[in-house]
Amino acid sequence: MTQHSRDTPQFYLTAPSPCPYLPGQEERKVFTHLVGDKAAELNDLLTHGGFRRSQSIAYRPACENCRACTSVRVLTAEFTPTRSQRRVIDLNRDLVGEAKASAPTSEQYSAFRAYIDSRHRDGGMADMTVLDYAMMVEDSHVNTQLIEYRVRGMDTSVTGRGEGELIAAALTDRLSDGLSMVYSFYEPEHAARSLGTFMILDHIERAKAMGLPYVYLGYWVAGSRKMDYKRRFQPQERLHPDRWTRIDE
């Protein structure tokens, strides 16, 4: 019988299921567990190879007849917001983002539930309970934070905190070379603020301030309208079979 070290990751392949991005396609994923003392190091390595994290699982598409999913990372040092992105920044100058330990709260779940019900009621997260949400936030063996965005408060100049209601939040991993946005959500009543775009712009500025060259945005899916927004953050690199390739569109 072959013996495997507990530090050696074992990879598994899911059964085919309907693709959530491209009608008529099926998806399969290869995945492994991120546990133990080497979890953060392994998460770094796998993210560089196009994997994403969900709780203590790292996964990557392994579809038999499609290669549309492409990993994307923004080059933070060279990024300059477009005119429309500057408008989004101006629209949200009353918000303060504060990085916190990845601990779930009822306020977060309320915003998460409202977001899912409004934007993704037919998606894979539609049935997530408060316990499922807590697992999504807490079940991590890597360096993870939850950044909360609140309305700017009177004490901001002293403490840097917002005091108002929770407007949005982003679950984010700190990698050796960047920030990886695992999942973000917002109160749908504030959709006019373009909060999804704002949180990406804020993460780019955070990565710059930390001296990190990349913000990882997950997968851009050619032909999927819901993923097309990721093309707007330029310059960026996309992972092709043999290397990351710079894209300037």
Average pLDDT over residues 72-91: 97
- Residue 112 structure tokens: 């998460």
Interval 50-77: pLDDT, tens: 999 999 999 999 998 898 999 999 999 9
Interval 156-187: pLDDT, tens: 554 556 578 899 999 999 999 999 999 999 99
CA trace torsion 39, 113, 91, 248 (10° rounding): 50
Q: Bridge-partner residues for 94, per DSSP?
A: none
DSSP 142: S
Q: Where in the chain is the domain with CATH 3.40.630.30?
A: 73-247
Tell me which of 161 and 238 has the higher pLDDT: 238
pLDDT of residue 169: 97
**pTM value?**
0.90
Pair type for strands 214-221 and 178-186? parallel
pLDDT of residue 200: 98
- Residue 168 structure tokens: 């949005």
pLDDT of residue 20: 85
pLDDT of residue 4: 46
Q: Is residue 64 classed as helix, strand or coil in its secondary structure?
A: coil
Q: Is residue 25 classed as helix, strand or coil in its secondary structure?
A: coil
pLDDT of residue 224: 85
Provide the H-helix boundaries in 17-95.
39-48, 83-91
d(CA 190, CA 103) in angstroms, rounded, equals: 24
Interval 187-227: pLDDT, tens: 999 999 999 999 999 999 999 999 999 999 999 998 888 88
For residues 220 and 191, the answer to whether their CB atoms sit within 8 Å is no
Interval 2-30: pLDDT, tens: 444 556 789 999 999 998 889 889 999 99
Neighbour tally for 11: CB within 10 Å? 13
d(CA 159, CA 150) in angstroms, rounded, equals: 13
For residues 20 and 27, the answer to whether their CB atoms sit within 8 Å is yes
Q: What distance, in Å, lies between the first and last C-alpha atoms of the chain?
A: 53
Q: Is residue 192 classed as helix, strand or coil in its secondary structure?
A: helix
Query: In the block, which residue shows the tokens 């043999």?
Result: 242
Neighbour tally for 243: CB within 10 Å? 8
Cα within 13 Å of Cα(199), Cβ side: 29
**Which CATH superfamily is 73-247 part of?**
Gcn5-related N-acetyltransferase (GNAT) (3.40.630.30)
pLDDT of residue 7: 62
